[in-house]
Amino acid sequence: MKALILARREIVEQYSDRSSIIRALFLIALPIALIQLNRSAAAPPNEFILVFALQAALLPAATAINAAAGSFAAEKEAQTLVPLLAAPIRDIEIVAGKLIGVMAPAAVLSIVSLLTYHVAASQRFGAARIAEVLDPVTTLELFGLSVLAILSLGSWVMVVSARVPSQRAAQQVAGLVLAGVVVGLTAVSSVIGNISTGFIIGGVVAVLVSDLVALQLAQRLWNREEAVARL
């Protein structure tokens, strides 16, 4: 499967510099640090624990945003795209390889982040309470939501970054998307106790639709003709 060969290179490329590793560690550590530093309530409400669990799951998606921004623009800038397009690989394999390369590390980071949060929260609020609030189903749902978000954000950033002229511009796009994620998370955190089930289902459907549209667009932009025309 050539998509996996491409994905492997993408992952190695992303994590071959120290800043990526530091960024990933920081994103994992952030929600843990927040609950450890928050000493205002000895027994906080369940929503509080859930909000930070949501952040722990979703923040690693930020690594996908950065990686997606770099995947097309960096190759264009370094002119490494032509040899890749000259290889006997189908367009769909290129798109799949790029997406797997962007998604897989972010998904792994998300699950590691959730598990680390689980351990840290158990230590802070008691294992029994955390086992009740963050039961395996909830944890899995949070992880599923995170994967959908990674796919959606990664695909959209890839779509936009395919159309910008430089890696710097792509990183600026990534920065804007990241800011949007932070605003979205803050908004969700503030209303998490009052969100109805219908609203949650609607949100998940919206993310799914967004994923499908972004994937279609990404595939069109990674068509050889389109890609070469933009070199």
Of 24 and 57, nearer to other proteins (C-beta) is 24
137: contact with other proteins by CB under 8 A: no
Cα angle for residues 168, 174, 175 (degrees, 5° grid) = 90
Q: Write down the residue that tokens 């511009």 correspond to.
A: 169
- Contact call for residue 83 and other proteins (CB under 8 A): yes
Map 193-225 to HEC letters: HHCCHHHHHHHHHHHHHHHHHHHHHHHHHCCHH
Out of 9, 21, 140, 209, name the contact with other proteins by CB under 8 A.
9
- Least Å distance, CB 89 to other proteins, is 6
- Least spacing, CB of residue 85 vs other proteins, in Å: 5
188 class by beta-carbon count within 10 Å (0-12 exposed, 13-18 middle, 19+ buried)? middle
Cβ closest to other proteins, residue 31 vs residue 97 = 97
CA distance 186 to 34: 14
CB neighbourhood size of 35 (10 A): 22
Least distance (Å) from other proteins to the CB of residue 3?
Answer: 11
Establish if 163 lies at the interface with other proteins (CB under 8 A).
no
Query: Considering the complex, what minimum distance in angstroms separates the CB of residue 24 from other proteins?
Result: 17
For binding to other proteins (CB under 8 A), which residues are involved?
A: 2, 5-6, 9, 12-13, 16, 78-90, 224-225, 228-229
